[in-house]
Amino acid sequence: MTHQGRPAATGRRELTYAVLLCLAGAGLALWMATRGWSVELTARPAPLPPVREARSGAALLPWLPALAVVALAGGGAVLATRGRVRRLLGVLLGALGLAVSAGAGYGLVADLDGVVSRQWPALCLVGGLLVAVGGGWTAVRGGGWPAMGARYERPKRTVTESNPTTAATPGPMAGRRTTEAWDALDRGEDPTAG
């Protein structure tokens, strides 16, 4: 016997995991892109010490942190989308993750001048792969995941038989003019109170 709320709970759980993968991966890639990937030493005449010039992943590949920021924003946007748009966003996130991974992979194998630190590009590569996995998961399964709650959506308007135009929702202000509401506010009254 299956519980009726189980598919919705599974969808919410998958949505949470996909968003966390994208956000964690993009954040990791962005942070690793700012670390020093290589240090170049330039010799100077004695007794002066050599000049150290550290170059980050962002200095070597300026587009890398930009892609990570877009992936970070896209990971958050997965929550606000639904259906086909969410699946297309998943495809975009997968492509961004692969592009970040490619840049980090270049940092791993490139022959950079000076002392090279391979752990930062490797961690950036892991971040890009996390984004790609989260994006791929969203592209494949995201269409059926729940959307944001109804409280974030515009209320639906109803059409009555007597008035084919959209009817206002009944409440304390129903049938009152706007000027009456402002006059009530001027008197210190709450125009929404019944």
Q: Looking at the whole model, is its pTM more than 0.75? A: no
With respect to residue 92, please indicate whether it lies within any of the assigned structural domains: yes
If you write DSSP's letter for every residue of 15-51 in order, what string do you get?
HHHHHHHHHHHHHHHHHHHTSEEEEEEE--STTSPPE
Q: Which two tokens stand for residue 136?
A: 């791929």
Counting the structural domains of the chain, the total is 2
Residue 181 belongs to domain spanning = 156-186
171 and 129 inside one domain: no
With respect to residue 166, please indicate whether it lies within any of the assigned structural domains: yes
69 and 143 inside one domain: yes
Mean pLDDT for back-to-back runs of 10 residues, the chain (194 residues): 60 90 96 86 77 83 95 93 93 96 89 76 95 95 79 56 52 65 84 72
Distance of alpha carbon 153 from alpha carbon 68, whole angstroms:
30
